[in-house]
Amino acid sequence: MSYEHQTGEIKKIQVGLLGFGGLGQAGARVLEPKREMNLVAIADRKGYAYNSEGLEESACIAAYNQQGSVGYLEPGGTLSTNSIGELIERSPVEGYFLALPNLPNTFMASVAQQFIDSGWQGVLVDALKRTSAVEQLLDLQDSLQAAGITYLTGCGATPGLLTAAAALAAQSYAEIHRVKITFGVGIANWAAYRATIREDIAHIPGYTVERAMAMSDAEVEALLEETDGKLALENMEHADDIMLELAGICARDRVTVGGVVDTRNPKKPLSTNVQITGRTFEGKISTHTFTLGDETSMAANVCGPAFGYLKAGINLHRRGIYGLLTAAEVMPLFVR
Amino acid sequence: MSYEHQTGEIKKIQVGLLGFGGLGQAGARVLEPKREMNLVAIADRKGYAYNSEGLEESACIAAYNQQGSVGYLEPGGTLSTNSIGELIERSPVEGYFLALPNLPNTFMASVAQQFIDSGWQGVLVDALKRTSAVEQLLDLQDSLQAAGITYLTGCGATPGLLTAAAALAAQSYAEIHRVKITFGVGIANWAAYRATIREDIAHIPGYTVERAMAMSDAEVEALLEETDGKLALENMEHADDIMLELAGICARDRVTVGGVVDTRNPKKPLSTNVQITGRTFEGKISTHTFTLGDETSMAANVCGPAFGYLKAGINLHRRGIYGLLTAAEVMPLFVR
């Protein structure tokens, strides 16, 4: 067996999205022009939609935003209080991007367990954020493998793209001293990312996940008013650390993640970057830097990698490689 | 099956080096402190050395530099005019780094053919440079696969580390417009890299591979005298282009490689970097940049990735994945 070089040789992949908020909708838009992937299934909290020929992204977004669920899509939509469970059972999908909220922190692992229990086989990719969420998935490693599921975790921007860049950059060094991720995010209107902003607030000293989740929109608005719409975050619990540790690159305490989120301006408050500092075999200390272009949005930097890892995961799954992998161990493949 | 997360679980890899000039010797030094890899075999033009317990790097370097071949190593060395062939036949090695000269341009493919013909199975990693050298290896794709060899090509710095960074960065974009690699190399004394410098000279307008190879040391010295020891190179024939094309990322004419080599100063004349420009799914044009720390040497940026790809290749080979792969398709794994 070998990898296909010509990506044209790969069979068109039937893809599903779980979650259809800001991230899920961006995912649908990213997929729309792709020749190698076909978006055939979407589930949100209240329903799901399936079409073996492919779902029309704009119709799905309209149904969700105007009526509250893709379950209202005509034809193809179904309202359900067990939307993920029913979708898994009824839809031949080879890989899902879990564009789900990170909170509660047990959510991603519980969805993974649902896939394991269903007997479904295929590829799952998440863009989760917290170290503890990856720890829960690690507990499922054996079950995922036995179930024939290839699960790639931490496949968004950070963790994801930047973690992979750190893993790559580490190759120049005999020892890694520090990986420092600093992100800038600018969004025009936080209301489009209600779940994400609460996840960010949960990282602020004095806040907990529970407290952030319980905040009303008005309370979030009031907090943002105090800071001119900006959230400054330091030493965040971010899964980049455990992913680099699992890849054998450095102890997790050498990895730090922080940044600034501007909720009132699509322009990034600073350029997102990762710096990798280490010692070469000759004893020199140096730092490699990977910097994202300011014009690239959070959505582009999360969804692009997520589908790139999904394609790589399909390659592995078709070769019988199952279990839990992270974005630091696999090269995402470009989806055309 | 799954990948090992804990790199400690991987069996110690018995590694060989073909070629023991500047690059091969740096490779031996990189391997020296590694717990996961054991350097057991080295071949140069005039001989080879093998020790199943591991070769002592300093003794091998002394034998080569003082007597002209590792074949003089006592014990373990053998002088031979068919050093590669005899080493392959007599030594149980799981993976080789081909630290061989790039010239003649057919050399890497001829060595690959030698491995195929020998019946050996394992992993080969090269750090070749030219597009046409990869094209010759592509012709061997089916033979490598049938032989049970996993061959990873273009696994040095550029192509290699920077190509992989470009493949990773491409994930943020719907379309890639340009990949621009600019390298700075500083070496204290070109005499330690006689083959590499001639390869660089071959890229200068007016020179050919044949003409550069035929140059005496005095002629190289005279050329360098004219340019204050610096070689400025533009639009080089570099395999980054074909590797990104094979990975489906962009047409090869969108990839350019150039740089400056200072042969009289270990300080880099400029910071090596790769810029990846593309269009996001929202229609924004932007550029990601990956920049190498100036204190990292060519040797660190070539040999580190080469062994990282060798470890990744071993993972693939043990799972029955054979054939030709490039550095843009596989994530190198950190060797501890």
Residue A266: per-residue pLDDT: 84
Query: What mean pLDDT is predicted for residues A180-190?
Result: 89
Question: Which residues are paired to B290 by β-bridges?
Answer: A290, B274
Percent of chain A scoring above 70 in pLDDT? 97
List CB contacts (< 8 A) between A336 and chain B. Answer: 248
Say yes or no: A134 and A254 in one domain. no
Query: What mean pLDDT is predicted for residues B213-239?
Result: 93
B266 — pLDDT class (breaks 50, 70, 90): confident
Residue B335: per-residue pLDDT: 97
Percent of chain B scoring above 70 in pLDDT? 97
Q: Whole domain around residue B264: which residue ranges? A: 161-293
Say yes or no: A227 and A276 in one domain. yes
Q: Within an 8 Å CB–CB cutoff, is residue B202 touching chain A?
A: no
What is A192-230 written as a DSSP string?
Answer: GGHHHHHHHHTTSTT--HHHHHH--HHHHHHHHHHTTTE
List CB contacts (< 8 A) between A174 and chain B. Answer: 30, 33, 304
Mean pLDDT of chain A: 93
SS3 label, residue B61? helix
A7 — pLDDT class (breaks 50, 70, 90): very low
Q: Within an 8 Å CB–CB cutoff, is residue A275 touching chain B?
A: no
Say yes or no: A100 and A144 in one domain. yes
Mean pLDDT of chain B: 93
Query: What mean pLDDT is predicted for residues B303-320?
Result: 97
Say yes or no: B41 and B188 in one domain. no
pLDDT greater at residue B190 or residue A211: A211
For an interface test with B, give the residue of A135, A331, A336 to mutate (most B CBs within 10 A).
A331
Residue A101: per-residue pLDDT: 80
Q: Within an 8 Å CB–CB cutoff, is residue B249 touching chain A?
A: yes
Q: Which member of A170, A290, A324 has the closest CB to residue B165?
A: A290
Query: What mean pLDDT is predicted for residues A40-55?
Result: 97
Nearest to A243 by CA among B65, B331, B265, B108: B331
Say yes or no: B284 and B260 in one domain. yes
Q: How many domains does chain B have?
A: 2
Say yes or no: A70 and A182 in one domain. no
Cα B202 from Cα B208, distance rounded (Å): 5
Q: Which member of A5, A248, A321 has the closest CB to residue B319?
A: A321
Please report whether residue A336 resides in a domain. Answer: no
Please report whether residue B331 resides in a domain. Answer: no
Q: Within an 8 Å CB–CB cutoff, is residue A334 touching chain B?
A: yes
Q: Give tens-digit pLDDT for B2-51.
A: 444 444 445 689 999 999 999 999 999 999 999 999 999 999 999 999 99
Residue A331: per-residue pLDDT: 98
List CB contacts (< 8 A) between B331 and chain A. Answer: 164, 167-168, 328-331
Say yes or no: A31 and A80 in one domain. yes
Residue A244: per-residue pLDDT: 98
Task: Assign 3-state DSSP to chain B and report helix, strand, coil percentages, each to 5.
Answer: 40, 25, 35
Which range is least confidently modeled, A276-280, B181-185, B288-292? B181-185
List CB contacts (< 8 A) between B169 and chain A. Answer: 161, 165, 290
A8 — pLDDT class (breaks 50, 70, 90): very low
Q: How many Cα atoms occupy the beta-carbon half-sphere of B334 within 13 Å?
A: 29
CB B290 within 8 A of CB A289: yes
Long-range contacts of B78-84 (CB under 8 A, 24+ apart): B78/B47, B78/B48, B78/B49, B78/B50, B79/B46, B79/B47, B80/B46, B80/B47, B80/B48, B81/B46, B83/B43, B83/B44, B83/B45, B83/B46, B83/B47, B83/B48, B84/B18, B84/B43, B84/B48, B84/B111, B84/B114
Is B290 close to A249, i.e. CB distance below 8 A? no
Q: Within an 8 Å CB–CB cutoff, is residue A266 touching chain B?
A: no
pLDDT greater at residue A115 or residue A203: A115
Residues 4-43 of B with CB under 8 A from A: 5-8, 26, 29-30, 32-33
Residue A44: per-residue pLDDT: 96
Residue B188: per-residue pLDDT: 83
Which range is least confidently modeled, A139-148, A155-164, A261-270? A261-270
Q: Give tens-digit pLDDT for B145-175.
A: 999 999 999 999 999 999 999 999 999 999 9
Q: How many CB atoms lie within 10 A of CB B189?
A: 9
Task: Say how far residue A22 (Cα) sits from the centre of its chain.
Answer: 12
Residue B1 has pLDDT above 60, yes or no: no
Query: What mean pLDDT is predicted for residues A177-206?
Result: 88
Residue A124 has pLDDT above 70, yes or no: yes
Please report whether residue B332 resides in a domain. Answer: no
Query: What mean pLDDT is predicted for residues A292-305?
Result: 95
Please report whether residue B226 resides in a domain. Answer: yes
Query: Whole-prediction pTM value?
Result: 0.93
Tell me the H-state helices in chain A: 22-31, 57-62, 83-90, 107-118, 131-138, 141-147, 161-169, 194-201, 209-214, 217-226, 240-246, 298-318
Catalytic residues of A: 129, 199, 203
Say yes or no: B7 and B37 in one domain. yes
Please report whether residue A225 resides in a domain. Answer: yes
Is A331 close to B329, i.e. CB distance below 8 A? yes
User: From A169, which residue of chain B is nearest by alpha-carbon distance?
Assistant: B161
Q: Which member of A8, A304, A329 has the closest CB to residue B172?
A: A304
For an interface test with B, give the residue of A171, A281, A314 to mutate (most B CBs within 10 A).
A171
Angle between helices A161-169 and A298-318 (to 10 degrees): 70
3-state secondary structure labels for all residues of B254-316: HEEEEEEEECCCCCCCCCCEEEEEEECCCCCEEEEEEECCCCCCHHHHHHHHHHHHHHHHHHH
Catalytic residues of B: 129, 199, 203
Residue B130: per-residue pLDDT: 93
Residues 57-116 of A with CB under 8 A from B: none
What is B192-209 written as a DSSP string?
Answer: GGHHHHHHHHTTSTT--H
Percent of chain A scoring above 90 in pLDDT? 85
User: From B29, which residue of chain A is nearest by alpha-carbon distance?
Assistant: A281
Query: What mean pLDDT is predicted for residues B275-284?
Result: 98
Please report whether residue B173 resides in a domain. Answer: yes
A199 — pLDDT class (breaks 50, 70, 90): confident
Q: Give tens-digit pLDDT for B129-140.
A: 999 999 999 999
Say yes or no: B40 and B150 in one domain. yes
- Residue A65 sits in a domain whose CATH number is 3.40.50.720
Please report whether residue B335 resides in a domain. Answer: no
pLDDT greater at residue B243 or residue A227: B243
Q: Give tens-digit pLDDT for A200-258.
A: 899 898 898 889 989 999 999 999 999 999 999 989 999 999 999 999 999 999 999 99
Residue B4: per-residue pLDDT: 46
Query: What mean pLDDT is predicted for residues B52-74?
Result: 96
Query: What mean pLDDT is predicted for residues A118-144?
Result: 96
ipTM associated with this complex: 0.93
Say yes or no: B150 and B197 in one domain. no
Which range is least confidently modeled, A105-109, A292-296, A320-324, B58-62? A105-109
Q: Give tens-digit pLDDT for A310-319.
A: 999 999 999 9
Say yes or no: A115 and A218 in one domain. no
List CB contacts (< 8 A) between A239 and chain B. Answer: none
For an interface test with B, give the residue of A334, A335, A336 to mutate (most B CBs within 10 A).
A334
Query: What mean pLDDT is predicted for residues A135-157?
Result: 97
Please report whether residue A242 resides in a domain. Answer: yes
List CB contacts (< 8 A) between B277 and chain A. Answer: 293
Residue A122 has pLDDT above 90, yes or no: yes
Task: Say how far residue A59 (Cα) sits from the centre of its chain.
Answer: 24
Say yes or no: A16 and A133 in one domain. yes
